[in-house]
């Protein structure tokens, strides 16, 4: 049985979906924020309805939203990204989603990722497994791949690793994998949860970009950390999500900001 926390997060994402899809077929006006990332009226309205939905149930909880910032102070903090993948959304590429997580005293206990254009939602709460709803409901499980050389790797913008000094490291990892694709944003974490891909890597991100997956990935049987192997929390700006079996092997590629070609050969 779902907790009221999870039920509220799911309902909030569905309420946001109506707004997001309303604007999806239109030529939407885009603004550029101070961090040089785009934002649309759909982002703003979707976050507003998410907050309204949450506050109607939990008025004393804290909010951390990508567009509205931080409000309130509580042991419970809701972390919101109304449209993860705004650039895709603007281009009518259907790989974008709404991310909602609930953090209690620094630990993510509920996570929801909803992809409106694909009609695909995944979610989890602590100790109750990870689930996908796309017409029918099914439990999620990561893959059984046990070697990087056999793995399928998904990634965000690879050029962002170059800015961290990890260009050679990433290229070595990609070269050693069986297959690599860069779907990026929230969708790539869906592929890991379902066992379609064995791992995903991303850098130069914010907590709201990955917060739900800090609970969904482990509940699907996988592992998620930053590139240094630390737990995902408000400080995280890089991410490795995997089936757990190849996680430590992937992290070895990022032990040094130097090329480590052929380290596993």
Q: What is the pLDDT of residue 135?
A: 92
Domains of the chain, with CATH numbers? 4-139 (3.30.540.10), 148-252 (3.40.190.80)
196: its two tokens: 């379609």
List the one residue out of 95, 103, 84 whose CA is nearest residue 13.
84
User: In a structure prediction context, what are the per-residue pLDDT tens digits for the chain, which is 265 residues long?
Assistant: 899 999 999 999 999 999 999 999 877 878 888 887 889 999 999 999 999 999 999 999 999 999 999 999 999 999 999 999 999 999 999 999 999 999 999 999 999 999 999 999 999 999 999 999 999 999 999 999 999 999 999 999 888 898 888 989 999 999 999 999 998 899 999 999 999 999 999 999 999 999 999 999 999 999 999 999 999 999 999 999 999 999 999 999 998 644 434 333 3
Q: What is the DSSP string of the chain?
A: ---HHHHHHHHHHHHHHHHHHHHHTS---EEE-TTS-EEEHHHHHHHHHHHHHHHHH-TTSEEEETTTEEE---SEEEEEEEEETHHHHHTT-S--EEEEEEEETTEEEEEEEEEGGGTEEEEEETTS-EEEEESEEEE--------GGG-EEEES-THHHHHTT-HHHHHHHHHHSSEEE---HHHHHHHHHTTSSSEEEEES--HHHHTTHHHHHHHTT-EEE-TTSPPPSTT--EEEEE-SSSHHHHHHTTSSSS--TTTT-
Residue 201 exposed, middle or buried by CB count within 10 Å (0-12, 13-18, 19+): buried
> What is the spatial distance between Cα 222 and Cα 189, in angstroms, rounded to a whole number?
11
Determine contact, residues 262/169, Cβ cutoff 8 Å. no
């Amino acid at each position: 049985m779902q907790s009221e926390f999870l039920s509220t997060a799911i309902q909030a994402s569905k309420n946001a979906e109506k707004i997001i899809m309303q604007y999806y077929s239109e030529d939407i006006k885009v603004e550029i924020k101070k961090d040089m990332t785009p934002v649309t009226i759909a982002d703003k309205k979707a976050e507003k309805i998410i907050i309204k939905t949450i506050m109607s149930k939990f008025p004393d909880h804290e909010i951390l939203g990508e567009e509205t910032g931080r409000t309130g102070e509580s042991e419970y903090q809701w972390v919101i990204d109304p449209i993860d993948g705004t650039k895709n959304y603007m281009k009518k590429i259907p790989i974008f989603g709404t991310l909602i997580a609930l953090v209690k005293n620094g630990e993510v206990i509920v996570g929801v990722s909803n992809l409106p254009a694909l009609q695909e939602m995944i979610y989890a709460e602590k100790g109750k497994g990870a689930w996908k709803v796309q017409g029918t409901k099914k439990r999620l499980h990561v893959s059984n791949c046990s070697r990087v050389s056999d793995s399928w790797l998904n990634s965000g913008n690879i050029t962002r690793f170059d800015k961290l000094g990890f260009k050679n490291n990433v290229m070595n990892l990609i070269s050693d994998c069986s297959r690599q694709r860069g779907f990026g944003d929230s969708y790539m974490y869906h592929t890991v949860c379902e066992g379609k891909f064995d791992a995903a890597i991303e850098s130069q991100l914010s907590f709201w970009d990955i917060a739900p997956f800090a609970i969904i990935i482990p509940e699907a049987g996988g592992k998620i950390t930053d590139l240094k192997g630390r737990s995902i929390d408000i400080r995280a700006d890089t991410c490795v999500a995997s089936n757990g079996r190849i996680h430590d092997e992937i992290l070895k590629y990022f032990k040094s900001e130097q090329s480590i070609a052929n380290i596993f050969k």
